[in-house]
Amino acid sequence: MSNEIQKQYERYEDVWSIMHCMKELYAVPNQHIRYAVMNAFFSTRMIEGSSLREHGVMMLSHVEKLKDLQSDFDKEETYVDVILQSLPPSYDQFIINYNMNGLEKSLHELIDMFVQTRQ
């Protein structure tokens, strides 16, 4: 910690007071974090020819972050819809089959299912 910053906190009596003050100054609000994660989740698109497994893992990571942030956006079928929308056009037939057959899979089952269709 620089001398200037140390001088700013000399008036505090204990470490907890200093930490509370620093948290107020430097912490990123959950709303901003939630916005950034939702933006990444909704805007992620798989590039044609890239690894489906890597894309699936990245999308599941976004979902887990949203769940950790306790977002109101917490319905499994909505996550599935966004993940399906993130796939490139070469997966259109898979998406049609998935929706027409009324399949209801967990996120992990969905990722495994479309990875298996490409093997």
Residue ranges per domain, the chain?
30-117
pLDDT at 98 over 70: yes
Confidence of residue 86 (pLDDT cuts 50, 70, 90): very high
Termini Cα distance of the chain: 54
Residue-wise pLDDT for 35-62, tens only, equals 788 889 889 999 998 888 899 889 989 8
More confident residue, 49 or 76: 49
